[in-house]
Every structure is written in structure tokens, then in C-alpha cells.
Amino acid sequence: MEMKAEPKVKKRAKQDLFQHHDYYAVDELLSEDQLLAREAVRSWVKQEVSPIIEDYAERAECPTHLFQGLAEIGAFGPSLPAEYGGGGMDEIAYGIIMQELERGDSGVRSMASVQGSLVMYPIYRFGSEEQKRKFLPKLANGELIGCFGLTEPNHGSNPAGMLTNIRDDGDAYILNGSKMWITNAPIADLAVVWAKDEQGKIIGLIVEKDSPGFSAPVIHGKWSLRASVTGELVFEDVRVPKENVLPNVVGLKGPLSCLSKARYGIAWGAIGAALDCYDAALRYAKERIQFGKPIAHFQLTQKKLAEMITEITKAQLLAWRLGSLANKNAATPAQISMAKRNNVAMALNVAREARQIHGGMGITNEYPIMRHMMNLETVITYEGTHDIHLLITGMDITGLNAFS
Ligand code: TGC
Ligand code: FAD
């Protein structure tokens, strides 16, 4: 991708006053490396993201110059092996990095989630050695930007019904179909695309940007995730060399395994958005005077703040425990679903309560609340909707499949 330099527009540099909140001393459960990773990403977010993000979100423009910085702080594939350009860290460090990024903006966390968990991870897990060597280091250092194409216009929650297909043509496959709602699609150099072969089996392909017949138009008009670019992927008789097929997976478990990796990151990420809203609301409540007192003095405001930190604390503990399981390779997809669902819904509720505490000011871009709230409407939908994750839990505990 050709990176745009940060434009020299006059921007209101926002002061980022965020302070961490750790009511149950969860930090005591973290290793020195995990804490160091958190500090590094937090200070990068304060310096590079917070001052510009409201302006980019307002203009509905992706701050593409941040890809380079994200690569430099190791946000792409933090828990993938270092030999392929990953960070070589553990799953909790990966989660914490996502939390800090989403504290800045869900769209910035999305840039990292897609690149690391939905593009690098499938190539690492299902790719050939040649594919790994060719693509992973350049994805890790931000030289190449990738996207992940699973959702279609008529198949969102039910990707098994996908219509995108390939036909054998000697040394290549001919790819036809379309994908919808694809993060980073319009700026990506390559797309990991899931399609059905002539036997109806789902396989993964790496489709490179300049392939004739391949286009990636922008989806305009989003009121959510405005600092992230979303597009379609359109394939009209695109020739994909057979060497670009991911050789080591067949079936829906391929893309769903990538989703498990990314959903795990979102379970942590959402806590970051919630912490930012809570932090702003706590500060505002102590400063804003009504009826001769700070509004924090009133019981109804205290109820809101107390419930917010209670829910954040529960989410922090859920994420930490999930991370401990993931470090032993023992986190099940259903456990990941529970944490993604709970923590994103928690963050959205915290954002709504924080908005109330800010009164009229809460709807302005002087505070991060509305941006987080609008972003979280996407986060509660993508990577499996709130209800789909509930049904995954339902299936896991009853053994009965509500999808069929
Ligand atoms: P089902 O029969 O249940 O499963 C098919 C095969 O997959 C396995 N499996 C998983 N493997 C790993 N991780 C998971 N989370 C898995 N879930 C299922 C399963 O064991 C089975 O394996 P095998 O060996 O028996 O073949 O499949 P189903 O068709 O009944 O679907 C179940 C359902 C509804 C849960 C699934 O389709 C689903 O999760 N739907 C939601 C779709 C979704 O999340 N889409 C996300 C698109 S990507 C995106 O949103 C990126 S946003 C990025 C950003 O900007 O951050
Ligand atoms: P639908 O599946 O049509 O669902 C509509 C409603 O019906 C939801 O409330 C859902 O919960 C409900 N529903 C569906 N089935 C059931 C059921 N069985 N029981 C009860 N209720 C049900 N996808 C990608 O592949 N790659 C990306 O990079 C990507 N990025 C995205 C970025 C953004 C900004 C957005 C908004 C989406 C992105 N997505 C991406 C797509 C996302 O994963 C889908 O939007 C999501 O999976 C839901 O699919 P859908 O929008 O088609 O909704």
C-alpha cells in the first residue's frame, strides 16, 4: 500500500488525560514483559492516536500513516513467532496490546486485528513455508497491508452459505463472487479470501491487489468505525495462481479459527474503550458543578460510576483468565465467544452511561465518548454478532444446535 504521510492540516491537538483503572489489582497478575508492552503501546497511543483521532473520525478518513507505527510497536501478530516477524509474546501480552489500541480507537485496534489475526495468522497457520517467507515479514513490518474476506452480501452470520467460488483452470483457479464489509479492503495489497471449490469445500486463497478482475470499492456512509476504511471485494474471473492457495486447511474451521484469534483480541480490546469512557466520566463528574456541587456528589451519578467500574473489573478478570487458558492453548472457541460478547456489551453500556454523565457535552467531540459508542456498535456486530455468540454458548452448554 502506498502510505499517505500525515497531512499537514491544522488539527486540534487533544490532550489525553487518561489514567489507568485497576480496581482489583489485576496488574499484580501481569508479568513484567506484559506491563512493559502495555506502557509502550499506551504511550504510543497518547502520542500518535489521541491527538488526531477525533479529526480523522469526523472526516471519515483512515489514518493510514499509523500502519507504520503499529508495525514498529509490534502490534501486528504480537503472539506469532518472531522468526516470521511476529512479536513472539504470549496471548495475554497480545490481549493487552489490543486493549491499549482500542483505548485509543476501535478502528485502530481493527487495523491491527485484521493484519495480525486475520491475515498473518491464517498464512502462518495454514500457509506453505514459501507463503510464510514471502508474505509474513512484509505484513509484520507494515510494507504490505492485508484484509480478510469472509462475509458476503447475503451471508454474514452464516458464512457456510457463501457463494464466492473457484474453478480449476490448470495452474490457476478462476475466482468469482463478492465479499462485503471488509476492513481495509480498499487499501489492501492482498486479501485472504475464503471461497468454495467445485466440490463445495471452503478453501483459503491469497489474492493480490493487481490481479485483473479484482476490485475493492469503498463502502461510504458509516456512522461507526469512521477512522477505519471498509470496502467490498469483487472478483470477476480473477486468476489466482495455485501457489496462492493456503494448502493446510479445508472447511469452515479455517476462517473460524482465525475468528477465534481475533475475537480473543476484541474481548480485551473492548475493555480499553470502556476504560477510556469511564476515565473521562469520572473526571467530568468530579469537575462538573450542578446544584452547587460536583455531580459526582449525587447518588445517581455514583451509581452509574460504581456500576461501570464493577463491570469493567469483571471484564478484566474474564479476559485475564481467558488469556491464561489461551497461553496453555486451552481456551475453547465457546469460551472466547462468551468473553467477546460480554466484554463488548459491557463496553457499550459503559459508553452509554458515560455519555449520560457528560450531559450535552457528551455528544460532542470534545470527549471520546460518542466516538467509542458508535464504534462499539460495529464491534458488537462484527466477528459474530451479540446474539450469535449467545447461541454459541447455548450450543456449548446444551449440546443442541440452534442454527440448524
Ligand atoms: P459449525 O458446523 O459449527 O463449524 C464448522 C467447523 O468449524 C469448527 N469451528 C471452529 N473452529 C475454530 N474456531 C471457532 N470459533 C469455530 N467454530 C466452529 C467446527 O468445529 C467445525 O469443524 P469440523 O472439523 O467439524 O468441520 O459451523 P456452522 O456453519 O454451523 O456455523 C456456526 C456459526 C454460526 C457459529 C459460525 O458460522 C459463526 O461463527 N458465524 C459468525 C460469522 C462471523 O463471525 N463472521 C465474522 C466475519 S470476519 C469479521 O467480522 C472481521 S471484523 C475485523 C475487524 O475489523 O476487526
Ligand atoms: P446478519 O447475519 O444478516 O444478521 C442480522 C441480524 O440477524 C443480527 O442481529 C443477527 O444476530 C441476527 N441473526 C442472524 N442469524 C441468526 C440466528 N440464527 N438466530 C438469531 N438471530 C440471528 N467481515 C469480514 O469477513 N471481514 C471483515 O474485515 C469485516 N469487517 C467489518 C467491518 C465493519 C465496519 C462491519 C460493520 C462488518 C465487518 N464484517 C467483516 C462483517 C461482519 O462480520 C458481519 O456484519 C457480521 O458477521 C454480521 O453479518 P450481517 O451484517 O450480514 O448480519
Torsion sign across C-alpha atoms 33, 39, 42, 47:
negative
Mean pLDDT of the region 151-175: 98
Mean pLDDT of the region 360-371: 97
Tell how far the Cα of 386 is from the centroid of ligand 2, in angstroms. Answer: 10
Please state, as a whole number, how many other Cβ atoms lie within 10 Å of the Cβ of residue 201.
11
pLDDT in tens, 272-307: 999 999 999 999 999 999 999 999 999 999 999 999
pTM of the model: 0.97
% of the chain at pLDDT higher than 70: 97
Among all bound ligands, the one having the nearest atom to the CA of 149 is: 2
Using the structure block, give the residue that is written with the C-alpha cell 452547587: 292
The predicted structure's pLDDT at residue 14? 72
**Partners of 207 in the beta sheet?**
191
Determine the Cα–Cα distance for residues 322 and 330; give it in Å rounded to an integer: 9
Determine the Cα–Cα distance for residues 1 and 71; give it in Å rounded to an integer: 14
DSSP H helical segments within 6-65, as ranges?
A: 32-44, 53-59
Q: Give domain 26-140's CATH number out of 1.10.3720.10, 1.20.1730.10, 3.40.50.300, 1.10.540.10.
A: 1.10.540.10
Mean pLDDT of the region 113-131: 98
**Partners of 190 in the beta sheet?**
146, 208
The predicted structure's pLDDT at residue 1? 66
Measured from the CB, is residue 156 less than 6 Å from ligand 2?
yes
Q: What is the mean pLDDT of the chain?
A: 96
Among all bound ligands, the one having the nearest atom to the CA of 231 is: 2
Measured from the CB, is residue 391 less than 6 Å from ligand 1?
no
DSSP H helical segments within 328-360, as ranges?
A: 333-357
E runs forming strands in 184-256: 190-196, 202-208, 214-215, 230-241
All structural domains of the chain with their residue ranges? 26-140, 146-244, 253-398
Coil vs helix vs strand at 209: coil
Please state, as a whole number, how many other Cβ atoms lie within 10 Å of the Cβ of residue 153.
12
The predicted structure's pLDDT at residue 342? 99
9, pLDDT greater than 50:
no
CATH of domain 253-398: 1.20.140.10
Determine the Cα–Cα distance for residues 211 and 238; give it in Å rounded to an integer: 7
Measured from the CB, is residue 106 less than 6 Å from ligand 1?
no
Determine the Cα–Cα distance for residues 316 and 123; give it in Å rounded to an integer: 30
pLDDT in tens, 43-93: 999 999 999 999 999 999 999 999 999 999 999 999 999 999 999 999 999
Reported CATH class of domain 146-244: mainly beta
Mean pLDDT of the region 183-205: 98
If residue 183 lies in a helix (H) or strand (E), which one and from where to where? strand 172-183
pLDDT in tens, 300-334: 999 999 999 999 999 999 999 999 999 999 999 99
